[in-house]
Structure 1
């Protein structure tokens, strides 16, 4: 075993963190034996104090095995540790193969106690690999940054004793996989095929002479199964186990272990393992909000955790605000820490999948990012053109294959929060972004227009899936609404909630409607009057009569100035104010308004019109309420 391999094994055995491992290995390298701590720290690109802190942690962990380290001081600790490890290394050279000496080239892993929330997946993965009678091929599949490689690494480390035939780690994105297998066999088993043999013959020789015992082959980051895996599989034998990590979703012929994001509690535990400070306790609720904002994605959590660890005075609340503003472009998630094994930031990780999509799938991803962060109703069968329907079906399949889109049920999909942000970034980079957003909000308006003022139970059921997306349009995309469509998302949301008696949910949308219309049109506009009228109707329903009265009067005054005295909206406004007066027992004030509204409706709409009938009915109600039955009867 080479000295470098020995050091890596010792680091793993003593549960060193990636940062501690980097400092430990750099210090103990043969070529660095005469270098000062400052020089080694410089090579690691960290400060001297940070370097000393890490090495102190290293000595504390090794002191559990070498008690003499506890009594050593200063530079003597390093020399004592080097002497202990050198003696152990030299004493091993002629030893028999032990569990710790199983041949492997597993990449460094995070300490087991910091690997959280994946216990069930590790157990299931082991069961899947062990139950196969032939070559077991199991794919750990999931979106970028979800921790597929780390899961495979932890599995290989924790179950190393199960694979006396060795663990061969292969990078599907590295040099030819077949060459990697030959190099492993040569270095670990001293198997050297003749130079003039073809690659296939050399591989066959390696498989025939492979170390005895079960062996595990890990193909990491597979993007093309036929080219990167299939030609290099070992012969059918139950002792060979094959594990893949991939962003791809294979069909059911290949066993898969779908890997999702962490559970909220596990996400918090991961963040706490990376940020060693009391601040997490003081801002626990903000920490939970950060985890939620990051969609519980392990890569994002690790990036943010490491970033926070370098910013001890940064409050979590301030970081959350910055993340919400800059999103994937914020430095906390944009770039990988130099000590991390994963080399990409979140956006870079997603970009690897984005580049595998065709223009059709990319376009659909951008379109879906305009929906709210909720279940998305997207039924392709509603598309009448067969060719367009087929294109959408293929785009959905491509997005799902790369785990960029989740299917919840038939016609219902969902985007991960950070993938949604990534797609939005890509859309904003497009020259067609404004046009796409304009089309999107126009389609949302068509839904809003169909929401009745008094929705039935069936209406509520049918429109519920669209409500969060109407809210998204009203909140974030109102600038893309045309002038004639501006009030509709707000009005639709108000009707949906008010029609169910959910007045507290309805009020903010109706208030926002008035604000948005005033900002765009100024105070003198019919839509401003309409928004005032709708808000007044809500206040009347909740008994806030004085607030409703002033809004009804302002709306009526606006309608008269803008549309003239002879207009149906003026009649409706008169009728609404009269209803308010009747509700509060102000019958003498209500009567002339009802009469004026009735007269206007007859002149403008003719005698044969439903609004005339409603107006007759309202006046009759007033007469009945005041005991004027003979006047009410003919109106009824």
Structure 2
């Protein structure tokens, strides 16, 4: 066993907190023997005083096993603790039972000090396993790439001393799980049941004669609980603990530890592990943006970190631009790194879940990917056909079960940034991509048509959740809008912001509306006139009269030219221009325009 793993187990045996464990492992690592406490504190991103305090707490806890630590000074305590632990590691006569006496087949794991951001989850997992009655089954669930297997591996290694009856690691995707249990029992305990017995009887024999002490069984990568786990569970006994890792979401009868993405600070720490620290310090803002773009997903962060390590001259800013352009297809995250235990790139990891979805769930995932990266208002209650509504409910349930969408509240969902990219990639690969995008934009136009020209507080409250998605259509999907619907998203967004008095946010949408309408429809089109009119009224509201007047005049002349002098829109333009003159105190110019508009409307 590696020294770092041994230290991690000693930390668990002496009930060190995650903070104490980090200081203890860093201080006792062989390569750090000549480093000062200040230097080690800096590497842990804490102050020297905090590091010294944590080590003092470590000495106090180890003093229960090694009383001689209590009578030594600080430097003496370190040397005595190192000597005691080295003796134990080498199997000295005074050593307590070591890990070599505990039978296990745990797969390799990253060194404890490089396993970041999951301290709270490890602690919670241990509490769940210890407090559950009889067979404790805890599902470490989550989408691909969040580190489910690594968390289970770290837990098994750090708490190995607790499981004196051994840790049996079982791959749910490997050979028959029952056979794996029999092989473990034979190799570790010399338990051999007669070949002519049924499998259930042979397993029962192994459980009855299993080595004494608490036992941890890990079923890794479970996809079918009833088939891969249930038939092989040990008898109901408090000493048998069972841990699952799975992408699926079970019902509440099974205790679970949902595993999400990392917190931003932990994500940055993970990115730093393979990358030179000074390199990240030179572009700190870009490093944060890379973490955000990757959605703080551990797999993506580790792949990008290792990629940067192989490209010492590549700037973070250049990499970010390439990631934004190529997205999941960029080589930094597309393929697994040969030095990593995980065998998939990000898209490949997501594809494993995609393949478990039926056609309706896949179609729904692609549809949801067209929404912006924000809370998605999506309710099936408005669907009148009961059978169709049930189909969509089942599709939502499938996506949730595999953690491909996140439920926020009733009728509100969210997609992880990289999952959204994956669904968009799948949509673009299909022959229905253009049709789906056209239908999506048409549906969003129906939403925007609910926005009145002067929205009140209730209108704004009900429609605000749709703002980012209308912006997504206007910014990235406008080519799929019909000519008749082209200006709706832009005018709707402008009206929502203007109605709240947020004129600065409204202006870009009104200006973009004019630009898009002119480019698509030409300079002589009624929607261009309407767009000019809306922008002019916004300028008038903000006192920018010199910019408003020519636009109002231009809109009026264009409407007369296109619609003739006897048209309601011409009357509206006359009225708007008259109102402008009233606002600027030009009453003599306003009066005839008002009269003209009145006669025309009559």
TM-score (norm 1): 0.80
User: What is residue 78 of structure 1 aligned with on the other side?
Assistant: none
Match of 1:534 in 2: 534
CA distance in 2: counterparts of 1:185 and 1:157, whole angstroms:
19
- C-alpha distance in 1 between matches for 2:546 and 2:363: 51
Q: Deviations over 1:543-583 (max 9, x none)?
A: 00000011111111211222222222122112111211111
Residue in structure 1 matched with residue 491 of structure 2 by the alignment: 491
Distance verdict in 2 for CA 1:142–1:563, change over 3 Å: same
The aligned residue for residue 465 of structure 2 is 465
Structure 1 residue 90 displacement after superposition: 11
Partners of 1:14 and 1:62 within 8 A in 2: no
CA RMSD of aligned residues (A): 2.2
Alpha-carbon contact 2:167-2:216 (below 8 Å) kept: yes
**Within 5 A, what are the aligned runs for 1:110-129?**
110-129=110-129
Deviations 1:572-600 (A, max 9, x none): 11211121111111222222222222222
Q: Is the 8 A contact 2:335 2:346 kept in 1?
A: yes
CA contact (8 A) 1:137 1:244 kept: yes
**Alpha-carbon separation, structure 2, partners of 1:64 and 1:484:** 70
Partner of 1:519: 519
Cα distance change of structure 1 residues 485 and 299 upon mapping to structure 2, 3 Å threshold:
same
* Cross-structure match for 1:106: 106
2:424 is equivalent to residue 424 of structure 1:
yes
Contact 2:89 2:98 in 1 (8 A): no
- 1:67-146 equivalent positions in 2, closer than 5 A: 98-146=98-146
For 1:127 and 1:313, locate their aligned partners in 2 and report how far apart those are by CA, in whole Å: 46
Distance apart, 1:227 and its partner CA: 0.9
| Structure 1 residue 14: Cα displacement | 7.3
> Does 2:591 correspond to 1:594?
no
**2:582 and 2:590 in contact (8 A); partners too:** yes
Aligned residue in 1 for 2:47: none
C-alpha contact 1:166 1:214 (8 A) present in aligned 2: yes
Larger CA Rg, structure 1 vs 2: 1
The structure-2 alpha-carbon separation of the partners of 1:564 and 1:244, relative to structure 1 and needing over 3 Å to count, comes to same
Within 2, Cα distance between the matches of 1:118 and 1:540?
55
Give 1:567's aligned residue: 567
C-alpha distance after superposition, 1:287-322 (max 9, x if no partner): 111111111111111111111111111111111111
Structure 1 residues 167 and 65: alpha-carbon distance in aligned structure 2, compared to 1, 3 A threshold: farther
In 1, Cα distance between equivalents of 2:499 and 2:123? 51
What is the DSSP-based 3-state SS (H/G/I as helix, E as strand, rest coil) of the residue aligned with 1:551?
helix
Query: Contact (CA 8 Å) 1:218, 1:242: kept in 2 or not?
Result: yes
Q: Which moved more, 1:183-192 or 1:485-494?
A: 183-192
Task: State which drifts further: 290-299 or 585-594.
Answer: 585-594
* Partner in structure 2 of residue 613 of structure 1: none
Which aligned runs of 4 or more in structure 1 are off by greater than 4 angstroms?
A: 60-66, 87-92
Give, in whole Å, the separation in 2 of the partners of 1:117 and 1:162: 23
Aligned counterparts of 2:250 and 2:31: Cα–Cα separation in 1:
48
Instruction: Note the 1:316-395 alignment, pairs <5 A.
Output: 316-395=316-395
Partner of 2:40: none
Aligned to 1:500: 500
* Structure 1 counterpart SS, 2:178: helix
Matched residue count: 530
Structure 2: distance between partners of 1:375 and 1:88: 54
* Residue 241 (structure 2) aligns with: 241
Residues 357, 110 of structure 1: CA spacing in aligned structure 2 closer, same or farther, 3 A cutoff?
same
* Cα 1:251/1:100, change in 2 over 3 Å: same
1:47-86 correspondence runs (5 A): none
Task: Structure 1: give runs of 5+ residues left out of the alignment.
Answer: 1-5, 16-59, 67-86, 603-636
**1:563–1:88 CA distance, 2 compared to 1 (3 A):** same
Indicate the residue corresponding to 2:482 in structure 1.
Answer: 482
Q: For the Cα contact (< 8 Å) 2:328–2:418, is it kept in 1?
A: yes
Tell me whether 1:162 sits opposite 2:162 in the alignment: yes
Displacement after TM superposition at 1:458 (Å): 0.9
Q: Measure, in 2, the Cα distance between the counterparts of 1:160 and 1:556.
A: 81
Q: Secondary structure at the match of 1:210?
A: coil
Maintained 8 Å contact 1:12/1:108:
no
2:227 matched to which residue of 1?
A: 227
1:142·1:402 contact (CA, 8 Å) conserved in 2? yes
Compared CA separation, residues 274 and 554, structure 1 to 2 (3 A)? same
Q: 1:96 to 1:578 in 2, by over 3 A?
A: closer
Counterpart of 1:413?
413
With 229-238 and 532-541 compared, the bigger mean Cα shift is at 229-238
Q: Residue in 2 aligned with 1:200?
A: 200
Deviation string, structure 1 residues 315-339 (Cα, Å, up to 9, x no partner) = 1111111111111111111111001
Which blocks of at least 5 consecutive residues in structure 2 are unaligned?
9-27, 35-86
Asked if the contact 1:136/1:241 (under 8 Å) is kept, the reply is yes
Aligned partners of 2:526, 2:361: CA distance in 1, in Å? 42
Measure the CA separation in 1 of the matches of 2:207 and 2:584: 92
Q: 1:90 to 1:532 in 2, by over 3 A?
A: closer
Provide the residue aligned with 1:37 in structure 2: none
> Aligned equivalents of 1:563 and 1:336: distance in 2?
62
Q: TM-score, normalised by structure 2?
A: 0.85
